[in-house]
Structure 1
Amino acid sequence: MVAFGKKLKQLQIQEWESFYINYKLMKKKVNQYARQIEVSERNREYVLRDFSRVLDNQIEKTVLFLLEQEGRLASMLSVLGEQHDALVQRDDAAMIPELQESYIVVGKELLKLLHFVELNAIGLRKILKKFDKRFGYKFTNYYVKTRASHPYSQLKQVFKHVGISAVVGTLSRHLADLKDHQGTFISIYDQPALSLPDPMIESIRAAVDRLSNSIDFLQYIGKHALIPEEELPTNADNDVDERYHFTSLLLNLVNTFLYMVNTYIIVPTADSYSLSLGAAATVCGAVIGSMAVAQVFSSVYFSAWSNKSYLKPLIFSSIVLFIGNTLYALAYDFNSIYVLFIGRVFCGLGSARAVNRRYISDCVPVKLRMKASAGFVSASALGMACGPALAALLQTNHSFFFITLNENTLPGWVMALAWLVYLLWLWISFREPYNNEKLNPPALRETSNGLENAALENDVSEPLLTISLEKQHDGHNDEDDDNDDDEEFNNNEEAEENHQPVTSIVSAYKLLTPSVKVQLLIYFMLKYAMEVLLAESSVITSYYFIWSSGKVAIFLGCLGLTVLPVNVLVGSYLSNVFEERQVLLAAEIMVLIGIVLSFQVIIPYSVPQYVCSALLTFVAAEVLEGVNLSLLSRVMSSRLKRGTYNGGLLSTEAGTLARVVADGAITLAGYGGMSTLLNATLLPSLLICICSIVATCFTYNSLY
């Protein structure tokens, strides 16, 4: 932990040391409370009261200093404002550079203050998490609920930086006026687009956005990939820059796109394909789900394989997918439902999404990683929309050398050809990062990513606060401080402070806090609801409305096209106006309403009811997925950011398992008859959704 401690110490503003939240003191308090509770359970109430008092005092110390600094900056800006007005009246262009420099000095001071607030917010979140983990009850829930909503809340000063925005606005307006609109009297409030970006203002805006968790669309959609965004420069960045190859990144994104097309291209015709092979129409659930079953296993071995190579697993994936789609297409002429299943299983075994994620995480420079992550998510969304749309175009019936080409087999043949072309392109153009194992072996990857890149762990959710002040006061150095806590808690502390990636699924499960478990449950729920909607769409619409495969494909394609617009709305507006936990809960409720409206009741089932309920469920689930993965990326442990058993793998497994259960439910419900299929598959979705809403309410304040 020495390198990590030194890295954090460099972040601290030395002259303000006495005003930081005393993380070391709070940590020792937690250990003392643990001893007291071991002696008597009656001490629990005292512990809650005393720790709340200590924490209140620490926050008050920090907030009062923050207000003092805000006042100092406001006074400086007031003086500069008078000089600014005098300069404009005299039209003295010679004084403009000097005044600009003075504003830049204020900007640098403001950046220091924002950095100070951020580190204290980080330390506060960390100590609240540590307390909950040590004692097993929800102190964070109690503390945030009682403090954050109070009219005199000092907690809001730390997390919402009340007052700093006014300073930022004044500084931005004056700098923009001096730089861009000299003599024109046009304000940035009147025409913001006319203001050229100032490096200082851009730095301040980035710091404010990071502190307030304010994001733009690119950042929002990039978080869906659960690819860690590194906040601090590391020595490994130069190596990553040298290993970056745009064509290789593009090939990874194309792989992602094609796989999603492959997943959904058969949905409109799976029921008719099953009927043509002598099976029931509802067997389409098992046909679609067999791919997901295989993906449960393929995600693990592809994630492990990507520790050593990227090219080899991608080649293997392409070959397996070529074989799988060929078998899927040939099942019609073989008249074998078993060949159909085997083909889809092979397709699932070729899922290389874990490799795609790891390539972006390990081989794309930090400055481009968010864009690459957004590309990964966009490629998935586009593939989801293009799959059914492409199926709508494959409406033909011909034979070629004893091979039947119709709406059932063409999806297989088209995807087999696509994977063959992709394989050739991959073989010719992909460049394996040179000396990948030497530059980034598992041991080094664990150390560097766990220690250096966890400095602001998961944006502002789980990072450690530097404690150099306490080290100076107590006469400790970095090495001593890592071991200065009570010996009886060493095992717990080591487990929490160790940032190395986990090495087994059991270890990963042990790191799942209640908040993480709830977010995974929500992800399971939304994927189950979406899979039921999509997988049984052809069966339901055929039974109730006599829709053709082409109509189903167009309907599903239109649903898929809502993905990116919805993410634009949430990423550019909702996530910046409302707290993500508020959007999360609201989206869950909307999914619940969509599910309820989907049930067939006494009145005849109509097209408007089906379309409106399906659209509401799908759009709400898309909104929910965005904020769910964004929150998951913040509340998960840093040890789940890298390695084989990472957060991306866990979310993929949860989503894939949901798809397996949903597709299995469709097949099983089909044995009860078509008249009960809809309600039978929606009922589990309704119950899981209710459970997720209840669980969200219980962990709501831990998402603060």
Structure 2
Amino acid sequence: MVAFGKRLKQLQVQEWQCYYINYKLMKRKVKQYVQQIEVSEQNREYVLKDFSRVLDTQIEKTVLFLLEQQGHLASRLSDLGEQHDALIQQANAMRIHELQEAYRNVGRDLLKLLYFVELNATGLRKILKKFDKRFGYKFTNYYVKTRANHPYSQLRQVFKHVGISAVVGTLSRNLADLQDCEESFISIYDQPALSLPDPIIESINAAVDRLNNSTNFLQYLGKHALILEEEFATPSDDDADMGYHFMSLLLNLANTFLYMVITYIIVPTADSYSLSLGAAATVCGAVVGSMAVAQVFSSVYFSAWSNKSYMKPLIFSSIVLFIGNTLYALAYDLNSVYVLLIGRLFCGLGSARAVNRRYISDCVPLRMRMKASAGFVSASALGMACGPALASLLQTKFKIFKITFNEDTLPGWVMALAWLIYLLWLSVSFKEPSPLEKANSTQHETNNVLETGVLENSVTRPLLSTSVEKPHDEDEDQELEISEEASEESRKPVTSITSAYKLLTPSVKVQLFIYFMLKYAMEVLLAESSVITAYYFIWSSSNVAIFLACLGLTVLPVNVIVGSYLSNKFEERQVLLASEVMVFVGIVLSFQLIIPYSVPQYVCSALLTFVAAEVLEGVNLSLLSRVMSSRLSRGTYNGGLLSTEAGTLARVVADGTITIAGYWGMSKLLNVTLLPSLFICVCSIVATCFTYNSLY
């Protein structure tokens, strides 16, 4: 992995070198501040002020250059506009083609400028994270709070640049107008469908979206998978040459879907199954939670196993899940709640989600990775909805050779058959990527970074006729180069959970805690739904299954709204905080107080809690991927594993809470289980407020 400072230098346009932020200078400053604070704690206030001044100077230099280039581009567009107006009255195809090419040249220079802004924005984020790692999050909190929302903020010019959209709009309109004129001489406003997007405009829009963190539904959904990518990795057509097998990807998504089905197919009947075996109804918490307990461990060994193979862990997973579901179904005739729990433990031990995520991260071409990530999340959401829906259809009872098939055992038998079929499909169709292909995948992404720099530097015509080269301190540069080379070893993926924990900044820890909170609230809501509705409303298991299926079906529509609208209209940290408040409101409304508990109260509060938690999960994982160290993007102990462990631990604690709360009686179960959810939610809101300005 190339050190960021080196990559920054490789990707810089040489003519503009003195206008980039001086990343090495700021790294050197951070190092000096560490030494100063070690000498005297009184220097802490001086460090904040001095580094703020350094950052202000660097940002001002970049912003003034950016504004100068925008003016230069606007002047060129104005000149071309005069030619455009004259050509509209003519039918000279050659002149129209020349003018189109002139507009595209402006577009290429605009793209070059956008890459300039992107490099500086990434450098600023990197140096803020580096400072926070050494001193806590206080500096970013102070700097963003005082600079980002100021009316004369230059920081916002870098992260939320103004004026670029006007240039893009002019380019888009004129290129489309010329295309229509060349083809049919009909105005773009009369026949907009005739206009095909120009490749230059598409590249510019993609660059603008990256800078503004704009998303569409596909991108937003893909972020749920928390598959981290290297900075500046850009897809190219050469991705098609990688060792990529569509059927293997489909098998990974099928594994994800089936695993989510078995997770939730037993929820509507877990209480009745426990009662039929002589246990209390609230033992359903232990039945549901035993799977999560085993998953805490299986996530680690499956993640490590996927370093060497994908097919072998998937085969092992399928066999274990077949055994687990068979034991779950046989527990009824064996009249043993222990066999029931062992069956669910086996199901947890077969959780191969870490393998599914790693396959997408390591073996899917970069140009398709976002779609594959969205497929991973969609498969999980559909499995969550299909599990209870399938349970509602299994309302029958019969015997074959003294083996009972009823609403309690059929989920186990059906899923055992499903995993047997999947195992046969896997054995025939899965293609194991060779070590060379995996290495090529990683190397290819590194090459993409370098190719981006070559592409930008290949635009030989500078936007300014002259540029001032500032002298560099060669000794200091060389010293920093050596330092970066020496630290490259430490930039490799972490090899232990302890090393991963050391990389967690306060903002990352808060995001993981929020993920724990939302998974806890969702698990309490879902796992105890059959018990609560049976006690208060006398719902049958089919009614509970339909209710849970309806909740699951809200996942994709909610993500469409958030990904296409909310995440573009509001900052993600704003959506994050608002979602936490809505989860809090949903939990409060769920409590049983003086008035009798009613179906509308339960359904509305559950829907509000579930939908708010779904919105929260999307923005939480998106922010987590941004604030998390790049060292956690690959390897066994990656960001996806950490989030999975946080979510799984939340499910274990929630299911344990339900089982323990059963000792206080059914009348108190609801309030007793909601109190921890409320407390954790309040703590997460407070923690978010403390780290709010570091989520920038």
TM bin, normalised by shorter chain, reads over 0.9
- CA RMSD after TM alignment: 2.5
Question: 1:215: Cα distance to partner?
Answer: 1.3
- Any conservation in 1 of the 2:136–2:506 contact (CA below 8 Å)? no
Q: Give distance in 2, aligned partners of 1:660 and 1:484.
A: 44
Deviations 1:270-312 (A, max 9, x none): 0000000000000000000000000000000000000111111
The corresponding residue for 1:481 is 480
Would the alpha carbon gap of residues 335 and 251 (structure 1) be closer, same or farther in structure 2, given more than 3 Å must change? same
Letter in 2 for 1:12: Q
Q: Helix, strand or coil: the match of 1:153? A: coil
Q: Give distance in 2, aligned partners of 1:112 and 1:302.
A: 43
Question: 1:655: Cα distance to partner?
Answer: 0.4
Q: Which runs of 5+ in 1 are unaligned?
A: 457-468
Would the alpha carbon gap of residues 449 and 42 (structure 1) be closer, same or farther in structure 2, given more than 3 Å must change? farther
Letter in 1 for 2:532: I
The corresponding residue for 2:171 is 171
Question: 1:481: Cα distance to partner?
Answer: 3.0
Q: Give distance in 2, aligned partners of 1:501 and 1:520.
A: 19
What TM-score results when the alignment is normalised by the length of structure 2?
A: 0.93
Alignment of 1:306 with 2:343, yes or no, is: no
- Any conservation in 2 of the 1:451–1:499 contact (CA below 8 Å)? no
Describe how 1:182-581 pairs up with structure 2 within 5 A: 182=182, 184=185, 186-187=187-188, 193-230=193-230, 232=232, 241-434=241-434, 436=435, 438-440=436-438, 473-475=472-474, 480-483=479-482, 494=487, 498-581=490-573
Would the alpha carbon gap of residues 200 and 476 (structure 1) be closer, same or farther in structure 2, given more than 3 Å must change? farther
Would the alpha carbon gap of residues 451 and 478 (structure 1) be closer, same or farther in structure 2, given more than 3 Å must change? farther
Deviations 1:482-531 (A, max 9, x none): 2359xxxx9xx949x83211000000000111111011001000000000
The corresponding residue for 1:460 is none
Q: Give distance in 2, aligned partners of 1:601 and 1:143.
A: 45
The corresponding residue for 1:633 is 625
The corresponding residue for 1:128 is 128
Would the alpha carbon gap of residues 451 and 294 (structure 1) be closer, same or farther in structure 2, given more than 3 Å must change? same
- Any conservation in 2 of the 1:24–1:470 contact (CA below 8 Å)? no
- Any conservation in 1 of the 2:317–2:351 contact (CA below 8 Å)? yes
Question: 1:533: Cα distance to partner?
Answer: 0.5
Would the alpha carbon gap of residues 342 and 484 (structure 1) be closer, same or farther in structure 2, given more than 3 Å must change? closer
Would the alpha carbon gap of residues 455 and 662 (structure 1) be closer, same or farther in structure 2, given more than 3 Å must change? farther
Q: Give distance in 1, aligned partners of 2:319 and 2:550.
A: 31
Letter in 2 for 1:294: A
Question: 1:51: Cα distance to partner?
Answer: 1.5
Q: Helix, strand or coil: the match of 2:404? A: strand
- Any conservation in 1 of the 2:33–2:47 contact (CA below 8 Å)? yes
Q: Give distance in 2, aligned partners of 1:596 and 1:377.
A: 29
Q: Give distance in 2, aligned partners of 1:254 and 1:472.
A: 58
Letter in 1 for 2:257: F
Letter in 1 for 2:564: S
Alignment of 1:642 with 2:642, yes or no, is: no
Deviations 1:606-637 (A, max 9, x none): 00000000000000000000111111111110
Letter in 1 for 2:187: I
The corresponding residue for 2:666 is 674
Q: Give distance in 2, aligned partners of 1:691 and 1:453.
A: 42
Q: Give distance in 2, aligned partners of 1:449 and 1:500.
A: 17
Would the alpha carbon gap of residues 429 and 207 (structure 1) be closer, same or farther in structure 2, given more than 3 Å must change? same
Question: 1:166: Cα distance to partner?
Answer: 0.7
Question: 1:239: Cα distance to partner?
Answer: 8.5
Would the alpha carbon gap of residues 538 and 116 (structure 1) be closer, same or farther in structure 2, given more than 3 Å must change? same
Q: Give distance in 2, aligned partners of 1:626 and 1:388.
A: 23
Deviations 1:448-496 (A, max 9, x none): 599778999xxxxxxxxxxxx99971236986432359xxxx9xx949x
Q: Give distance in 1, aligned partners of 2:111 and 2:481.
A: 29
Q: Give distance in 2, aligned partners of 1:348 and 1:137.
A: 37
The corresponding residue for 2:606 is 614
Would the alpha carbon gap of residues 384 and 530 (structure 1) be closer, same or farther in structure 2, given more than 3 Å must change? same
- Any conservation in 2 of the 1:291–1:345 contact (CA below 8 Å)? yes
Alignment of 1:587 with 2:618, yes or no, is: no
Q: Helix, strand or coil: the match of 2:323? A: helix
Letter in 2 for 1:278: G
Letter in 1 for 2:267: V
Would the alpha carbon gap of residues 517 and 326 (structure 1) be closer, same or farther in structure 2, given more than 3 Å must change? same
Q: Helix, strand or coil: the match of 1:399? A: strand
Letter in 2 for 1:153: S
Alignment of 1:108 with 2:108, yes or no, is: yes
Deviations 1:68-96 (A, max 9, x none): 11000001101111110111123433310
Identity of aligned residues (%): 80
Q: Give distance in 2, aligned partners of 1:86 and 1:500.
A: 58
Alignment of 1:80 with 2:80, yes or no, is: yes
Moved more, 244-253 or 469-478: 469-478
Would the alpha carbon gap of residues 452 and 348 (structure 1) be closer, same or farther in structure 2, given more than 3 Å must change? farther
Would the alpha carbon gap of residues 402 and 137 (structure 1) be closer, same or farther in structure 2, given more than 3 Å must change? closer
Deviations 1:553-585 (A, max 9, x none): 000000000000001111111111111111111
- Any conservation in 2 of the 1:2–1:478 contact (CA below 8 Å)? no
The corresponding residue for 2:465 is none
Q: Give distance in 2, aligned partners of 1:499 and 1:131.
A: 17
Letter in 2 for 1:284: C
Q: Helix, strand or coil: the match of 2:597? A: coil
Letter in 2 for 1:23: Y
Deviations 1:304-355 (A, max 9, x none): 0001111110000000000000000000000000000000000000000001
Q: Give distance in 2, aligned partners of 1:110 and 1:325.
A: 58
- Any conservation in 1 of the 2:88–2:181 contact (CA below 8 Å)? no
Q: Give distance in 2, aligned partners of 1:258 and 1:181.
A: 53
Would the alpha carbon gap of residues 528 and 452 (structure 1) be closer, same or farther in structure 2, given more than 3 Å must change? farther
Q: Helix, strand or coil: the match of 1:473? A: coil
Q: Helix, strand or coil: the match of 1:701? A: helix
Q: Give distance in 2, aligned partners of 1:181 and 1:128.
A: 49
Q: Give distance in 2, aligned partners of 1:479 and 1:385.
A: 58
Question: 1:45: Cα distance to partner?
Answer: 1.6
- Any conservation in 1 of the 2:10–2:450 contact (CA below 8 Å)? no
Would the alpha carbon gap of residues 673 and 449 (structure 1) be closer, same or farther in structure 2, given more than 3 Å must change? farther
Alignment of 1:690 with 2:689, yes or no, is: no
Q: Helix, strand or coil: the match of 2:201? A: helix
Q: Give distance in 2, aligned partners of 1:470 and 1:137.
A: 35
Q: Give distance in 2, aligned partners of 1:145 and 1:453.
A: 35
Q: Give distance in 2, aligned partners of 1:661 and 1:135.
A: 33
The corresponding residue for 1:33 is 33
Deviations 1:365-397 (A, max 9, x none): 111111111100000000000000000000001
The corresponding residue for 2:162 is 162
Letter in 2 for 1:331: A
What TM-score results when the alignment is normalised by the length of structure 1?
A: 0.92
Q: Helix, strand or coil: the match of 2:405? A: strand
Would the alpha carbon gap of residues 347 and 174 (structure 1) be closer, same or farther in structure 2, given more than 3 Å must change? same
Question: 1:240: Cα distance to partner?
Answer: 8.2
Would the alpha carbon gap of residues 52 and 235 (structure 1) be closer, same or farther in structure 2, given more than 3 Å must change? closer
Question: 1:42: Cα distance to partner?
Answer: 1.8
- Any conservation in 1 of the 2:18–2:470 contact (CA below 8 Å)? no
Letter in 2 for 1:268: P
Equivalenced residue count is 679
The corresponding residue for 1:465 is none
Q: Helix, strand or coil: the match of 2:664? A: coil
Q: Give distance in 1, aligned partners of 2:47 and 2:477.
A: 29
